[in-house]
Structure 1
Amino acid sequence: MKSEKEKMITGEQYNPNDNELQKDRRRARFLARSFNIICESDEEIRMSLLKELLGSTGESVHVESTFHCDYGYNIHVGENFYASFDCTILDGGRVTIGTNCIMSSGVHIYTNTQSLKVEERIMGIEYTKPVTIGNNVWIGGRAVINPGVTIGDNVVVATGAVVVKDVPDNVMVGGNPAQVIKLIK
């Protein structure tokens, strides 16, 4: 029988109030809070906390405070990753971010979602859909990436965009819901 954590990670319906998941969220919040209050000049300590929090990172990773996440261990970022102030990643499901990616201030990435059935929402049942972001992607401030979205390589997501469906390579998207604005050569 699968644990609630295993169900969460594989996208099956799960109970987020499970004791193991509550413990994991407390751990992530402790590490994120510790990271957020450490002075930026203490780069070694900040990087150590970030590497303990996240599932995997490249060598060159820079995240500004404040940063928030649910679990941390489901977030995997590539080389040369930068996240500006006030970014949030709800990572019940896997979040994979490629190399040379920039997240501007206030970007939110969500993998967690609820059922359309009211009875299941009342019971607190959730499920997750992974988010994948390709290489060389720039996500503008206050953009929102929704559960299950894949963003291709060399993409620009405009400020304030709400991305609800997959984005192909080499385009700029914007709006709510986000749509292709132009091709990038």
Structure 2
Amino acid sequence: MSISERAKMAAGEWYTCIDPELEALRVAARDALHEHNLMRPGERGNMGPALRLLLAQVGDNVRIEAPFHCAYGINIEFGDNVFLNAGCTILDTARVRIGKSSLLGPNIQIYCAEHHKDAALRSAGLEIARPVEIGERVWVGGGAIILGGVSIGNGAIVGAGSVVTRSVSAGASVVGNPARPIPA
């Protein structure tokens, strides 16, 4: 019996994203996102109902401003009191966990997928998924990019426009491309 591409993705192994089961999951996510992004704000509240059902975990008082985009949604976990500003994108091929009371500015991008370096394998859709962990009380400034395999510790600050390629210690402030620690 062969292992499904979804199972490979979940296990952190190389998989092909060109797969009917994964495409069906992406279609379900797009449908939920369509509802969320087009609902009138007064009707939507903190997030559209289909998006809430799609996500792996949603704590109390989680607010996701529209527009929002994710690849699957089923790999995203939010603690209590998380806020995502408008334009955030989470390509959740792996688990993305955002801890309680964390604030993400506008146009934050979280990319879990890493495509194969070999051009032929990349063209065949081969990629690997790396998780992202954002701790509690983290502030991520607008336009920041967070790459797969990164952990951001509790209370850390990521400056606007930063590209986070390595893990960030608890309480640290990082800025730049690639993001580097700055003195407190």
**TM-score, normalised relative to structure 2:** 0.96
Secondary structure of 1:169's counterpart equals coil
Counterpart CA distance in 1 for 2:12 and 2:18 is 16
Structure 1: which 5+ residue stretches go unaligned? none
Match of 1:156 in 2: 157
Secondary structure of 1:113's counterpart equals strand
Match of 1:65 in 2: 66
Match of 1:105 in 2: 106
List aligned pairs for 1:127-146, cutoff 5 A: 127-146=128-147
Stretch deviating more after TM superposition (48-57 or 126-135): 48-57
List aligned pairs for 1:111-126, cutoff 5 A: 111-126=112-127
- Report the Cα offset of residue 17 of structure 1: 1.2
Contact kept in structure 2, 1:38 and 1:46, CA below 8 Å: no
- Report the Cα offset of residue 47 of structure 1: 4.4
Counterpart CA distance in 1 for 2:173 and 2:155 is 9
Secondary structure of 2:66's counterpart equals coil
Root-mean-square deviation (CA), in Å?
1.3
Match of 1:23 in 2: 24
1:44–1:141 Cα change, 3 Å: closer
- Report the Cα offset of residue 43 of structure 1: 3.6
- Report the Cα offset of residue 44 of structure 1: 5.4
1:44–1:103 Cα change, 3 Å: closer
Match of 1:34 in 2: 35
Whether 1:92 and 2:113 are equivalent positions in the alignment is: no
Give the residue type in structure 2 aligned to 1:55: A
Contact kept in structure 1, 2:36 and 2:44, CA below 8 Å: no
Secondary structure of 1:46's counterpart equals coil
Secondary structure of 2:14's counterpart equals coil
CA deviation string 1:123-169 (max 9, x = no partner): 22111000000000010000000011010010110000000001001
Give the residue type in structure 2 aligned to 1:95: V
Counterpart CA distance in 1 for 2:132 and 2:85 is 19
Secondary structure of 2:101's counterpart equals coil
**TM-score, normalised relative to structure 1:** 0.95
Counterpart CA distance in 1 for 2:51 and 2:139 is 21
Stretch deviating more after TM superposition (159-168 or 123-132): 123-132
CA deviation string 1:33-63 (max 9, x = no partner): 1110011101459342231121101011001
Counterpart CA distance in 1 for 2:45 and 2:126 is 39
Match of 1:169 in 2: 170
Contact kept in structure 2, 1:32 and 1:53, CA below 8 Å: no
Aligned residues between the structures:
183
